[in-house]
């Protein structure tokens, strides 16, 4: 069983990005489970002064990322960048220094927006942030979903569905790429040199 943690960059109750992630279960490869994380809005602003007594919300995020075999993040675009609440979550999970939860973690990224560009600039920024944190960013189709509200529906069980076949196909491909990265331990290979350097510093 492959455990995937899904993180939405939007905390809005009717968030399109959260709805998308909730629709991914039927599109996942056999044996993959996807759990949408709830609580990035509970994280305090990153402040190193808090690291002596880490808030429970921070511990919960770090443990969720560490326990997951991989992560998928869907982000909107705010003022041509990722939302501050998502950057805050990235920062908290990268700490304490030398113990980042992101290092070597396979991460798949996509974006969506009601607009016509699908949040592509935020997506590129997010990928850059993750690479800086030594996460392994899964290669695959670049999924930036424009006019996302036209591609979501609800089935007879009141479950959110992705109604556009082309978008659903790309999501399946991206999730399979994430599964492949988990199976081949690509993230661990990705950080092998970094881990060796860290070990040398520890003596």
pLDDT digits (tens, 9 = 90+) for 67-90: 999 999 999 999 999 999 999 999
The 10 Å CB-count burial string (b at 16+, else e) for 132-145 is ebbbbbbebeebbb
Strands 160-162 and 152-154: antiparallel
Question: Domains plus CATH for the chain?
Answer: 2-202 (3.40.50.360)
Half-sphere exposure of 6 (CA within 13 A, CB side): 21
Tokens 């600039």 correspond to 121
Strands 160-162 and 106-112: unpaired
The neighbouring-strand residues paired with 161 are: 153
Tokens 């290979």 correspond to 189
The pLDDT of residue 117 is 93
Percentage of the chain lying above the pLDDT 90 cut: 85
Q: What is the pLDDT of residues 162-178, one digit of tens each?
A: 999 999 999 999 999 99
Report the pLDDT averaged over residues 49-57. Answer: 95
Tokens 């805050």 correspond to 88
């Amino acid at each position: 069983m492959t455990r995937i943690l899904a993180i939405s960059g939007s905390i809005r109750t009717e968030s399109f990005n959260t709805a998308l992630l909730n629709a991914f279960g039927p599109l996942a490869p056999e044996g993959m489970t996807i759990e949408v994380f709830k609580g990035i809005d509970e994280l305090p602003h990153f402040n190193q002064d808090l690291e002596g007594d880490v808030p429970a919300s921070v511990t919960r995020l770090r443990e969720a990322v560490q326990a997951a075999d991989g992560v998928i993040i869907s982000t909107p675009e705010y003022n041509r960048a990722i939302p501050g609440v998502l950057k805050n979550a990235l920062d908290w999970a990268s700490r304490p220094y030398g113990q980042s939860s992101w290092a070597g973690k396979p991460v798949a990224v996509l974006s969506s927006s009601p607009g016509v560009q699908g949040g592509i600039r935020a997506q590129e920024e997010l990928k850059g942030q993750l690479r800086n944190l030594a996460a392994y960013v899964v290669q695959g189709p670049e999924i930036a979903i424009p006019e996302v509200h036209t591609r979501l529906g609800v089935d007879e069980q009141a479950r959110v569905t992705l109604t556009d076949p082309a978008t659903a196909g790309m999501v399946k491909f991206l999730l399979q790429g994430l599964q492949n990265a988990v199976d081949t331990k690509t993230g661990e290979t990705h950080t092998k040199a970094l881990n060796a350097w860290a070990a040398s510093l520890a003596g």
